[in-house]
Amino acid sequence: MKANTPPAPEETDVLIIGGGPAGSTVSTLLAQKGHSVILLEMGHHPRFHIGESLLPMTLPIFEQLGVSDKIRNIGILKYGAEFNAPAGEKRRETFYFDFALDKNHPHAYEIHRPEFDQILFNNAKEKGVDAREGIKVSKVSFHKDGSALVTAQNETGETHQFRAQYLIDASGRETFLSRRFKLKQKSNNHNSAAIFGHFDNVERRPGKDEGNISIYWFEHGWFWMIPLKGGRMSVGAVCYPEYLKTRSGSTESFLQQTIDMVPEIRQRMKNAVLVGEVRATGNFSYTSSRMYGPPGENWLLVGDAYAFIDPVFSSGIHIAMSGAVKAAESIDQCLQKPEDCRQALQQYQQHVDSALKTFSWLIHRFNSPAIRKLFMAPSNQWRIQESLISLLAGDLYRDTPVQKGLNLFKIIYYITFLKNLPSAWATHRRRKRNIRLHFTGGTTEQDHLDD
């Protein structure tokens, strides 16, 4: 048969584009519900991906998927998050997850993403998903009944076609459907870029704090330091695009130049050895104008295929996987009771948008002097600190008092903003100015995709 002559379409209940955490999670759960599922991943595991810090409230999802022991084996315990102010201010404050409103989830993990993603993908296979690698979707159309006809090519150029009652896009920052349907929208409230790499021989915190993420504010944004199992450390700076646009010379030298701006990081990395390449990426705060298809088009966006926000609170994997859990419930309802489908999809969107809104409010203001002052001098009056730590733990979807505490935190923030008006306003104006910038120095695959 000629390579350009597709065979008859393979039939399936659900076809999923993308084998990252969102795609592997939703496919596994749908298969467990008895549906036939095909999962197409254009790359091969293990593969590089940034985003190595997990939240405590993601761990129950691992239990649901049956991968808890495997994740534990590749992870290092993370009991909290450490925040470090610039020189001249109070230097350090650690927020421990066991001080959240719910004390039953006292830790998370830091993980190597290639291993993590591969565990979830292989688990999908083990749970009955027809999961395939090295096959890239190129075209999608819809029949009158809403089902999708999907065309894809493997690495030898063979064309494959699939007919699915429902299509889920979990393609991550590739945003397959969002780009093709022109739904992708750059954030109007936030814009940043990042430069990062992996290092050996970086100083860690002692004892229980060894696995905690360290975050450092500095003039142009903030740094992360994420300890990984085996002695490796992920180090990166999330910056205003205007700063990264000043880069000259190699990406490696620019990261070192940026590290040198923060004396404590420089000290912790005095014996550091770079492992692999330094990467840069930008313009990664976006959303999509639709989350699911109009009548006559059965499709749904999950995880980063729908939206992505700045990674300051390690929220990406948690929002993607918790959204995937809700997506599996919604698509199951669509397949079992089509008359209830729109309501199920609306509930799914509310679930995801609520988390994005809550995280985004804080993320958009993270570089503000007012936020920094509040983080470096936490108060638990009216259980505000417990509520904030609950947010940092990812506890956004249950009936807890977290939102009440966060609302009080917002009020205190605005009062603090007014008390520090000159510096706070200058930071606000800088954030707004950078929203208009387009960063062109990215070195990841996603940076070269057409918007």
Residues 119-145 have a mean pLDDT of 98
| 3-class DSSP assignment, residue 149 | strand
At 51, is the secondary structure helix, strand, or coil? coil
Residue 336 sits in the same domain as residue 438: no
pLDDT (average), residues 141-169: 97
Rounded distance between C-alpha atoms, residue 129 and residue 116, angstroms: 18
pLDDT per residue over 404-437, tens digit each?
A: 999 999 999 999 999 999 999 999 999 999 988 8
Type of residue at 260: D
Final residue of a domain: which of 338, 357, 376? 357
Examine the domain organization and report whether 380 and 266 are in the same domain.
yes
104 lies in the same domain as 252: yes
Does residue 270 belong to any structural domain of this protein? yes
What are the backbone angles phi and psi of residue 92, rounded to the nearest 5°? Answer: -150, 145
Q: Does 125 share its domain with 268?
A: no
Domain boundary among 301, 322, 357: 357
pLDDT at 3 over 60: no
Instruction: Tell me whether residue 67 is in a domain.
Output: no
Query: Mind spelling out the 3-state secondary structure of 255-299?
Result: HHHHHCCCHHHHHHCCCCEEEEEEEEEECCCEEECCCECCCCCCE
78 beta partners = 108
- Cβ–Cβ under 8 Å, residues 128 and 280: no
**CATH classification of the domain holding 125:** 3.50.50.60
Q: Which residue from 157, 132, 180 is spatially nearest to 18, judged by alpha carbons?
A: 132
Angle between helices 384-392 and 402-419 (to 10 degrees): 110
Give the count of domains, the chain. 2
Beta-sheet pairing, 135-142 with 148-154: antiparallel
Residue 5 lies in a domain: no
Confidence of residue 313 (pLDDT cuts 50, 70, 90): confident
Which pLDDT band holds residue 1 (cuts at 50, 70, 90)?
A: very low
pLDDT in tens, 221-275: 999 999 999 999 999 999 999 998 888 889 999 999 999 999 999 999 999 999 9
Closest-CA residue to 103 (of 355, 313, 358, 400): 400
What average pLDDT score do residues 117-134 get? 98
| d(C-alpha 72, C-alpha 220), whole Å | 35
298 and 414 share one domain: no
The two three-digit tokens of residue 448, written as one number: 């070269």
- 332, exposed or middle or buried, with CB in 10 Å at 0-12, 13-18, 19+? buried
Q: Both 176 and 324 in a single domain?
A: yes
| CA–CA distances in Å: residue 185 to residues 130, 149, 285, 314, 435 | 32, 26, 9, 22, 12
Instruction: Compute φ and ψ for 335, nearest 5 degrees.
Output: -75, -35
Residues 199 and 132 in one domain: no
CATH number of the domain at 241, please: 3.30.9.100
248 domain residue, yes or no: yes
Report yes or no on 437 lying in a domain.
yes
- Tell me the average pLDDT of the chain: 93
Cα–Cα distance, 433 to 191 (Å, whole number): 9
3-class secondary-structure state, position 357: helix
Say how far apart CA 93 and CA 83 lie, in whole Å. Answer: 5
| 371 in the same domain as 250 | yes
Residue 70, in any domain of the structure = no
In which domain, by residue range, is 252 found? 76-110+192-282+365-451
Backbone angles phi, psi at 236, to 5 degrees: -155, 160
Query: Are the beta carbons of 236 and 215 closer than 8 angstroms?
Result: no
- Torsion sign (Cα): 242, 185, 446, 391: positive
Percent of the chain beyond pLDDT 70? 96
Instruction: Count Cβ atoms within 10 A of the Cβ of residue 295 and give its class: 0-12 exposed, 13-18 middle, 19 or more buried.
Output: exposed
* DSSP-assigned letter for residue 190: -
Per residue in 76-104, pLDDT tens?
A: 999 999 999 987 676 899 999 999 999 99
Residue 143 pLDDT greater than 90, yes or no: yes
Task: Report yes or no on 334 lying in a domain.
Answer: yes
Q: At 306, is the secondary structure helix, strand, or coil?
A: coil
In this structure, the answer to whether residues 84 and 212 fall within a common structural domain is yes
Is the domain of 369 the same as that of 265? yes
DSSP, collapsed to helix, strand or coil, labels residue 226 as strand
Q: How many CB atoms lie within 10 A of CB 140?
A: 22
Residue that terminates a domain, selected from 308, 338, 357: 357
Q: Give the H or E element holding residue 80.
A: strand 80-84
What is the mean pLDDT of the segment spanning 287-291? Answer: 96
pLDDT of residue 449: 61
Domain assignment present for residue 69? The answer is no
User: Do 427 and 416 touch, CB atoms closer than 8 A?
Assistant: no
Same domain, 384 and 424: yes
> Do 155 and 275 belong together in one domain?
no
